[in-house]
Amino acid sequence: MKKIVIATVATLAMATVSMAAVNAGACTGCHGADWSKIALGKSKNVAEMTHADIAAALKGYKDGTYGGPMKGLMKGQVAKYSDADLEAFSQTIGK
């Protein structure tokens, strides 16, 4: 039981560090504080996306496999983050 508790605490601590790694302020500037703003009139409503869709989009922007007219802008926004950071962040927004 003690090992399970220690492992759970360690996992939660790593997830918290990852979530803190992504600067949400840079995102909300375009997507809005509640994530429902259509950024620059071209993006999807992030608040309506699933966590999995958000994670796939963020990682896709990073590796160049996802995106429309804002692909270049978003690649620059997410390039500095690890896939784990983006995955953890995606779990904090959307549905």
Domain edges within the chain: 2-90
Alpha-carbon gap, residue 12 to 4, rounded angstroms = 12
Among 63, 44, 57, 41, smallest CA distance to 90 is for: 57
With 70 as the cut, is the pLDDT of residue 5 above it?
no
**What is the pLDDT confidence band of residue 17, given thresholds at 50, 70 and 90?**
very low
Q: Which residue has the tokens 């492992």?
A: 7
Fold of 2-90: Cytochrome Bc1 Complex; Chain D, domain 2 (1.10.760)
Mean pLDDT of the region 55-71: 94
CB distance 36 to 25 below 8 Å? no
Q: At what angle do helices 2-21 and 83-90 cross, to 10 degrees?
A: 100
pTM of the predicted protein model: 0.76
**What is the pLDDT confidence band of residue 53, given thresholds at 50, 70 and 90?**
very high
